[in-house]
Chains A and B, each alone.
Chain A
Amino acid sequence: MSQMLEHPFEADEVMAYLDGELEPQRAAALVAHLDHCVECQALTRQFRQISERMLDFQIEASPVNISNVVRAALDRWKSETETRKFGFQKLRAWRRLLAGPYGWAFAFVAIIAIVVSGISIKNTLHRERADLPLPVRNYIDFAALQPGVSGSGDALKGAGAIGKLSNGLDELEPKSPERVGPMIARTASLSIVPANYEEAGPTLERLATSHGGYVQTLTTQAHTGSSRALSETLRVPVGQLSSFLTELRRLGHVEEESQSNSEVTDEYVDLRARLKNARATEQRLIELLGTRTGKLQDVLDAERELAHVRGEIERMEGQQGVLLHRVDYATVEVQLREQYLEQLGSESFATRARLRNAVVEGFGNLAAGGIYVLVVLLAYGPSVLFWLLLVLTPAWFVWRRYRLTGGR
């Protein structure tokens, strides 16, 4: 076979040709060569003889028992697979997806998303804590409904209500009333879990009205998945406070109660003194204008000063009215909280909403994360690149010189 080295074909090429493993062009050339090369013809005969001799190593047919065992196993497998088919196919699809390059890309993106989402969640939680008291508030000016204040009892809105309140206070308190003894502004606060939450609200307002008081503010809360709550600020005549509180306690279980008194005597006396001085000034200015003998400019100055003093007087009278109202009408803050009973099926709505919000927030975080990465790249990329070039370029020259000189 060493003689084959002189031939244009190696012996193993002849073998590959006989095995059908030689390239077509090379095989065609070999066929042509075999027509006139006796040695190569002898070689092919030898290879064929080897194959034929090997076929003498015969094996009997496989036992029938194999078939029975395998078919029985196939039946078992078939019945088991039918039940798991769907799950396995889905699992296989995911495995194929995650095992490829997409899996690595997905992992990279997921890590970035998790990091960015973590930052966003932290910020969101911080923001939610700051925004926590966001109940549905109904700001109604019930002062206008106060019996004996507005006189009409109609519900008033907007600026009209404010004007009516101001007028009511004026009517309630005549100008510069004299008060004897300490002036106390009384405040009470109750937190109640009523026996019947539905009726507690109207009962509360009815009680306030029957005691000559009124509802100043009203706030309701009805969050999904938690108990309802009602907060009211009531104003009742101070003489009725004790009996009013007694009746309030009958609404249900009082969880918390507190009362406080704030003395405003000094503030009232000071206000009255300033008001008295302002009125005296007003009187002098009026007298001055009535007997004027000076220049026109002096008259104009006096009138301007008179207008200013009158404005001050009106402002102080308003403050005085409010102060007296605080003393005459005690402030009662009532919080009614429903005893919460978990509703069957109520969670599904909350869960859907939460999932939907999570998806929206997830996309938001994803976008924010992408922008954040972009911002970081733009903010720090050039400087990092610059410093790398600055440090690595001399280092590369030093290394190159070291390599060229062989460390000498």
Chain B
Amino acid sequence: MSYQILPYRFERIKENVFLSNEVGEHLYLTSDDFNKFIEHRLEPEEKTFKDLKSKQIIADSHLDDVIEMLAIKYRTKKNFLTESTSLHMIVASLRCNSNCSYCQVSKKDLSDVSFDMTKKTAKKVVEKIFDSPSSNIKIEFQGGEPLLNFEIIKYIIDKAEWTNIFKKKNLEFVICTNLTSIDEKMLKWLKGHKVYISTSIDGPKELHNLNRPLHDIENSYDLVTEKIKLCREYLGRDSVSALMTTTSHTINHFKEIIDKYIELEFDSVFLRSLNPYGFAKRDKHILAYPMNDFIENYKKGLDYIIEINKQGKFFAEGYATILLTRILTPFSTGFVDLQSPAGIAIAGVIYDYDGDVYVSDEGRMLASVGDKKFKIGNVEVNSYQEIFNSAYLHELIENSIAESLPDCATCSYQSYCGADPVRNYSEQGDIIGNRTISEICNKNKSIIKYLLSLLQKNDNEINKVFWSWITRKSF
């Protein structure tokens, strides 16, 4: 039977074959049907023929119209590109009052104010931010501990809001903080502006304190939880979100961590693995764990969370939600760490306390231990074009397009995944990286495959839970 085969990728899963089209729509074929498909032996009356047509993997007429439909969907999936840089991270200060075991940013001592961002630098940073053509701007304060330089946070928020009167973008602020130094005076000020708080809770008290003691107090947990309550009082119940980082001390305790998150009235958790930068890399032998261990525990954690939802409580897993949105919906997801082309500078960017600009937070972390490979300029020295449109940045981006990277190019999960050149460089010494030994490939592929296997069960209850996460609605 004559039909045109349209762009697709495949992988064999036991006796079946998983196929996905150019925008991630997928289906399973038996091995036999797959052979018939590639040998052009499928007949129009067969269900497989129709199913492949429905997913636009084959076409027997109106090829132009089908390509048009695929193009529209492709544009939708890559919508983050037309948005340009919308996540702007600012290191307000590299000083920190915390002493996290896995500190990735090589934080500085409390007393060393030379690591605070100055007003002079901040002014330039805000100018560069509003040079971005993006209609959505999210300014995220990072550190060290950004609250230690609250003055510059106020300065930047004021300046940004003032500039935005003319620029009229959707403007949002986030402060990534350990919360221990927040007080009522700060909250009163923040209340008048659209500010969200992102903090870290690594688990129940003992586990959290093991990972994240403060300089002078071991029991940071009580302090943080108290401050969370305070934030919610001033800024609203949904103003605080939390994430966790997994170390060897906490990897076997996902259940307790999840329970704690529910107890603390969060409605989601992001089960994050350890990123190998800074102290996390230096102390790998103490803190790290084989990626396969993380994957196993992640699956168990996810199963546990699904059960909780089945019992009637809405609680989402952040990473799964992003992946599921990519697998099941035609929409683009703004997750700069995992997209193709990589989000480096073109989706998210970071301005260090001294005005140096890096393609990503991880790029900054590498610089703080001496490797400035991912620096793309300085706000006081370079123009917007020099920073965001340089030949060097082009080269980095060209090499971070999964569609053309070895193995990624033919990976059937490509639409759900992305490229991470900084991580490749950090782990393997080159930005392209070898997929067979890539830890993030292993992690992403395993989690994606696990989610797909759960979807394949066609279990109504599981589907309901997943869709409630994607749409943020309980049914």
Bound pair (A, B)? no
